[in-house]
Amino acid sequence: MKTKLQPVRGTHDMMAEEFRQFDHVVKTAREISSLYGFQQIATPIFEFTEVFKRTLGEESDVVGKEMYTFDDRGGESLTLRPEFTAGIARAFISNGLQQNIPLKLFTTGPLFRYERPQKGRMRQFHQINFEVLGASETLADIETISMGWHIIQALGVADKIKLEINSLGDSESRVKYRDALVKYLSAYKDKLSEDSLRRLDVNPMRILDSKNDGDREIVKDAPIISEYYSDAAKAFFDEVQAGLTALAIPYTLNPKLVRGLDYYCHTAFEFTTDALGSQNAVLAGGRYDGLIGTMGGSPTPAVGFAGGIERLMALANLKIPGKRPIVVIPIGDSAEKQAISLTAELRKAGFYIELGYGGNLKKRFKKADSGNAVAAIIFGDDEMAGHAVKLKDFDSSKEEEIKMSALVDRLAGYR
Q: Are residues 253 and 384 in the same domain?
A: no
Range scoring the smallest mean pLDDT among 50-54, 60-64, 194-198, 232-236:
60-64
Task: Please indicate, yes or no, whether residues 361 and 234 belong to a single structural domain of this protein.
Answer: no
Boundary residue ending a domain (316, 345, 370): 316
Kindly give the pairing relationship between strand 162-167 and strand 252-253. Answer: parallel
For the ranges 200-214, 264-278, 283-297, 379-393, the lowest mean pLDDT is seen at: 200-214
CATH number at residue 407: 3.40.50.800
Q: What digits encode the pLDDT tens for the residues 188-197?
A: 988 999 888 8
What is the average pLDDT across 195-206? 84
| pLDDT of 109 strictly over 90 | yes
Do 355 and 304 lie in one domain? The reply is no
* 199 domain residue, yes or no: no
Residue 151 lies in a domain: yes
Whole-number pLDDT of residue 198: 83
84, part of any domain: yes
Lowest mean pLDDT: which of 150-154, 207-211, 270-274? 207-211
Residue that terminates a domain, selected from 297, 316, 335: 316
pLDDT score for 276: 84
pLDDT of residue 115: 84
**Confidence band of 212 (pLDDT split at 50, 70, 90):** confident
pTM across the whole model? 0.89
* Residue 154 domain-assigned (yes or no): yes
Q: How far is CA 333 from the centre of its chain?
A: 50
pLDDT, one tens digit per residue, over 7-41 is: 999 999 999 999 999 999 999 999 999 999 999 99
- 353 within a domain of the structure (yes/no): yes
287 inside domain: yes
Asked whether the predicted pLDDT for residue 59 surpasses 70, the reply is no
Are 244 and 343 within one domain? no
Range of the domain at 98: 16-170+230-316
pLDDT computed for residue 199 by the predictor: 84
Model pLDDT for residues 316-342, shown as the tens digit of each residue? 988 888 899 999 999 999 999 999 999
Q: What is the pLDDT of residue 261?
A: 73
Boundary residue ending a domain (260, 290, 316): 316
Average of per-residue pLDDT across 354-363: 85
Is there a single domain that holds both residue 85 and residue 135? yes
Q: Indicate if 295 and 370 belong to the same structural domain.
A: no
Does residue 273 sit in the same domain as residue 157? yes
pLDDT above 70: residue 159: yes
- Asked whether residue 24 falls in the same domain as residue 116, the answer is yes
On whether the CB atoms of residues 187 and 218 are closer than 8 A, the answer is no
Asked if residue 310 belongs to a domain, the reply is yes
Total domains in the fold of the chain: 2
Report if residue 331 sits inside a domain.
Answer: yes
Residues 163 and 78 in one domain: yes
- pLDDT recorded at residue 298: 94
CATH number of the domain that residue 116 is part of:
3.30.930.10
121 shares a domain with 71: yes
Banded model confidence at residue 279, pLDDT cuts 50, 70, 90: low
344 shares a domain with 290: no
Same domain, 260 and 392: no
Q: Is the confidence at residue 306, as pLDDT, over 90?
A: yes
